[in-house]
Amino acid sequence: MLNFDHAASTPVHPDVIRTIAEVMEAHSGNPSSIHRGGEAASKLLERSREVCAAALGVKSGEIVFTSGATESNNLAVKGALLGRTDGKVHIVTTQIEHSSVSESCRQLEAFGIETTYVPPEADGTVSPDKVLAAVREDTALVSVMHVNNETGAVQPAAEIARRVKERSSRILTHVDGVQGFGRLALDLNAAGIDLYSVSAHKIGGPRGVGLLFVREGAKLFPLLSGGGQEGGLRAGTENVASIVGAAKAFRLAAEGQAERFEKMKRLREKLVREVRRHEALTLTEPEHPAPHIVHFTFPGLKSQVILHTLEELGVLVSAQSACSAKTEKPSRVLSAMGRKRDHATSGIRFSLGDEHTEEEIRLLSEALERTVDRLAPIEGRKR
Ligand code: PLP
């Protein structure tokens, strides 16, 4: 099978698998225990925190380990709003965020918190001016993702954070960095980003581990109460072995970012040329595309039909984001971009990974050609 669904999850890097197995075998201590076994686990945990901090260019005390980016996003959004006593009850976000951000905002609305959802432009990019225009006196948080997981549109997250901070240093800025980290450079300090979510399984780490960068001084209300782990922000015994493995994956992702960007960009351009050859397909063309995502629609057909045809031909891809893949509803992101229903129900995402080669792009292109040949006549289309 050819896996072109790396934005959903990546294979775990062999070094990461080895590391996790070694730590699991050698360390059974709880990092909060004060005996030798606990201390050894605690050292591994703190060393991993340093490694992650270095990968992000921040301080180790600013890293909170979580169960993944869904939790990181929940902690950033809910944690920034709950328990405030300063009357700041407003969030600015966008209509194209991952559901872990948008659903967190929706939940907060039940508690009297207001959210402004800024729409994207037709190419899937959010305008910094529109985000800034939505900021109010009572805004507590601005949350804008770095790379949209469906279309691959790179968002001006750094510019937005910088301008929000210029407007008021008290507003917290959050960036969901899941699809950008390890693929695009982003200087969290220069941009004035306070909160940044990352997930290990999108860059060669294990599923079920993520982190939230919380800038020193940024106050969050913890969502999990208990033993006060993770600086009091995330109670629960840490998954030490997986965190050590995730730290390795974050380090490898950060070190290889520039090279990965160039390689993926080259492969993406080839793939884009292939998609463009087919009249039946409409390429989604963000102003700034991420190097690992190619998105197109096949109007008149359902995403699932296209996806399963590709699967029969040996290629794994996604329709909408992996979490929304099982629904036949029009894509929320494409609808927000103003795409008509026949486009919003027929999106397909190819996403590239580290191991992909030109030969695999050629095989994918062949499978795409056969898919179009097979399906276009169904809708009375000719290439
Ligand atoms: N944010 C974005 C942009 C994503 O693409 C994903 C995963 O698809 C998430 C958040 C959630 O990450 P996790 O699977 O680690 O919960």
Instruction: For residues 250 and 324, state if they share a domain.
Output: no
How far apart are the C-alpha atoms of 250 and 293, rounded to whole Å? 20
Catalogue the active-site residues.
Answer: 323
Residue of the nearest CA to atom 16 in ligand 1? 70
Residue 165 pLDDT > 60: yes
Same structural domain, 139 and 58: yes
Q: Is the CB of 176 under 6 A from ligand 1?
A: yes
Given 221, 255, 289, the domain boundary residue is 255
Question: Are the C-beta atoms of residues 80 and 142 closer than 8 Å to each other?
Answer: no
Of 220, 255, 290, the one marking the end of a domain is 255
Domain termination site, one of 199, 222, 255 = 255
Q: Are residues 306 and 232 in the same domain?
A: no
Give the lowest-confidence range in 70-74, 217-221, 362-366, 376-380. 376-380
**Percentage of the chain with pLDDT > 70?**
97
Beta bridge partners of 214: 195
- Shared-domain flag, residues 29 and 110: yes
169/287 same-domain check: no
Same domain, 275 and 322: yes
Q: Do 51 and 142 have their domain in common?
A: yes
Q: Find the CATH number of the domain harbouring 277.
A: 3.90.1150.10
* pTM for this prediction: 0.96
Are 192 and 271 contained in the same domain?
A: no
Query: How far, in Å, CA of 172 to CA of 165, rounded?
Result: 8
Q: At what angle do helices 14-26 and 240-255 cross, to 10 degrees?
A: 150
Which tens digit of pLDDT belongs to each residue from 271-295?
A: 999 999 999 999 999 999 999 999 9
Q: Which of 199, 321, 333 to mutate to test the pocket of ligand 1 (most atoms within 8 A of CB)?
A: 199
Query: Ligand 1, closest atom to CA 323?
Result: 8
Q: Is the CB of 267 under 6 A from ligand 1?
A: no
* CA contacts within 13 A on the Cβ side of 35: 5
Domain identity same for 318 and 298: yes
pLDDT value of position 52: 98
For residue 94 and ligand 1, the question of a CB distance below 6 A is answered with no
Q: Which pLDDT belongs to residue 307?
A: 96
Do both 34 and 179 map to the same domain? Answer: yes
CA quadruple 345, 322, 270, 127: dihedral, nearest 10:
70
Flag whether the ipTM exceeds 0.90. yes
Counting the structural domains of the chain, the total is 2
Query: Looking at the structure, do residues 158 and 268 belong to the same domain, yes or no?
Result: no
What is the DSSP secondary-structure string of 97-164? Answer: S-HHHHHHHHHHHTTT-EEEEEPP-TTSPPPHHHHHHH--TTEEEEE--SB-TTT-BBP-HHHHHHHH
Range of the domain at 37: 14-255
Same domain for 251 and 292, yes or no, is: no
Tell whether ligand 1 has an atom less than 6 A from the beta carbon of residue 53: no
**Confidence band for 24, pLDDT divided at 50, 70 and 90:** very high
Summarize pLDDT for 121-163 with one digit per residue, the tens. Answer: 999 999 999 999 999 999 999 999 999 999 999 999 999 999 9
The CATH number linked to 227 is: 3.40.640.10
Q: In testing the pocket of ligand 1, which one of 5, 10, 12, 70 has its CB within 8 Å of the most ligand atoms?
A: 70
